[in-house]
Chains A and B, each alone.
Chain A
Amino acid sequence: MQVRVMLERDLSAIRQDVLRLGGMVEQAIDRCIEALKRLDVKMAQEVIDFDEEINRMRYQIEEACLETIATQQPMASDLRAIIAATFCATNLERMGDHAKGIAKLTIEMADEPLLKPLIDIPRMAQIAKEMLRQVLEAYVEHDPEKARAAAARDDEVDALDEQIYRELITYMMQDPRTIFRATRLLWISHNLERIADRVTNIAERVIFMVTGELQELN
């Protein structure tokens, strides 16, 4: 239909940008964990610098959404798609901030060897990334079931966070000299846990976009 040509073009561009932003965040998570594993300050710094690009992309999406609302007066499912896109962009940008947080903590720890071989933290990061990818698929495919499935994995991440906490406590009790490094690992674990929470937020908005129902998951 002629009347929808402009609107469809805007909506499709916004959708592409949200996906691109999702890809950037996934890359940031990947790189910050890699930098942590290697205690690579240069790579960590790159993650920190890359966050600027993520922020720029987020504002670009917000502006596109605003412009579409102002010029096309979208209604119903179109309006929900745009509101969902701004919400996704905000949450993805915050996930980028968590990756940047991990990179900063990595730089703080880089002078000493790692407290212990990293096992659970990379596992958490892997699950968080899979959740992110799945929720973005749900967003593109308008699939509320897939969104729910993505959010459901939040429990795995929470369990790992809890496990890491208990383990690090024992390190700190045995030897106070580990406190500096152990607390930083705790915060890193917490950053990953927050990333998974934000996947849940996005999943809620995907369901809202498709069904019009706002419901809290988990």
Chain B
Amino acid sequence: MEEIILEAQNLTVYYDGRPAIEEVNLRIPRRRITAIIGPSGCGKSTLLRCFNRMNDLIPSARVEGKVLFEGVNIYTPDVDVVEVRRRIGMVFQKPNPFPKSIYENVAFGPRIHGVRDRRKLDEIVERCLRAAALWDEVKDKLHQNALTLSGGQQQRLCIARALATEPEVLLMDEPASSLDPIATMKIEDLMRELTREYTIVIVTHNMQQAARVSDYTVFMLAGEERVGRLIEFGPTQQIFTRPRDRRTEDYITGRFG
């Protein structure tokens, strides 16, 4: 049995009073990669954003149901949302490094969380850049502006930045969709490396990517009324070789979507 780190219970999200996803129940296993797939508009990014309360930033959004992180509902009022986002980090579709040096990008989070000691910061920067498989490429130019890096390097820098706050979970929203195949492969290899310590939840449009990198796959679909629902969850190898639900089969074999 897998140990569960995150769990959605009867999760419904409304935008302007209209449900975007409805009654989602999902258990995310620790130190595994879980991929969320589905056609555009099925609510997969909405679901991902629920896991670290990113939907709080959208004024019209309202969340019902629970998200349990280590057994605690992160939507209860006394939960510190900054702490939630420290422990559940996020990497976005387009690399979005700060217009600062490579070093400062990684040191940013720890500084905010009160780390002042220079040696300690050096240590964190090196550890995170190594973990993000970027250290060897940037160790001689740590104080160069991050925007001079290639797209793939920038994305790995954003992963390093996310790791610097010592999270337990990394949420990734299409992390490789703006990268070329080689840079994509590096990110995928890196994801596999990261599961030694971290849990990863990834939203991807690229089914081959989900099939390649993930341990578990979630298939979501919005029906006529455009409300996203979880259709099937299972081990990736089962979802891609013998899905149980006809709709999953139709989607992954390209019959719609």
B-binding residues in A (CB < 8 A): 1, 3-4, 7, 73-80, 211-213
Contacts and interface: CB of A to CB of B under 8 A. Distances in A.
B254 A7 contact: yes
16 contacts: A1-B254, A1-B255, A3-B254, A4-B254, A75-B207, A76-B240, A76-B243, A76-B248, A76-B252, A76-B253, A77-B253, A79-B240, A80-B241, A80-B242, A212-B241, A213-B242
Given A76-B242, A77-B249, A79-B241, 17 more contacts: A1-B254, A1-B256, A3-B254, A4-B253, A4-B254, A75-B207, A75-B253, A76-B240, A76-B241, A76-B248, A76-B252, A76-B253, A77-B253, A79-B240, A212-B241, A212-B242, A213-B242
A199 B255 CA distance: 32
B256 A75 contact: no
A11 to B, nearest CB: 10
A205 B211 CA distance: 23
A132 B162 CA distance: 60
Nearest to B238: A212
A78 B242 contact: no
B208 interface: yes
Nearest to B244: A212
Contacts of B241: 76, 79-80, 212
Interface of B: 207-208, 211, 240-243, 248-249, 252-256
A73 B254 CA distance: 10
A75 B242 contact: no
Which of A1, A76, A78 has the most chain B CB within a 10 Å cutoff? A76
Residue among B208, B211, B241 having the largest count of chain A Cβ atoms under 10 Å? B241
A78 B251 CA distance: 12
Contacts of B249: 76-77
B255 A75 contact: no
B255 A4 contact: yes
Nearest to A83: B241
A79 B211 CA distance: 13
Contacts of A1: 254-256
A121 B226 CA distance: 65
Contacts of B256: 1
Nearest to B242: A212
Contacts of A3: 254
B233 to A, nearest CB: 16
A211 B244 CA distance: 10
The 3 closest A-B pairs by CB, nearest first: A212-B242, A75-B252, A3-B254
A4 B253 CA distance: 8
A55 B241 CA distance: 29
A73 B242 contact: no
Contacts of B255: 1, 4
A158 B86 CA distance: 68
Nearest to A7: B254
Contacts of A213: 242
Contacts of B207: 75
B240 to A, nearest CB: 5
Contacts of A74: 253
A213 B241 CA distance: 10
A212 B249 CA distance: 12
Nearest to B250: A76
Contacts of B211: 75
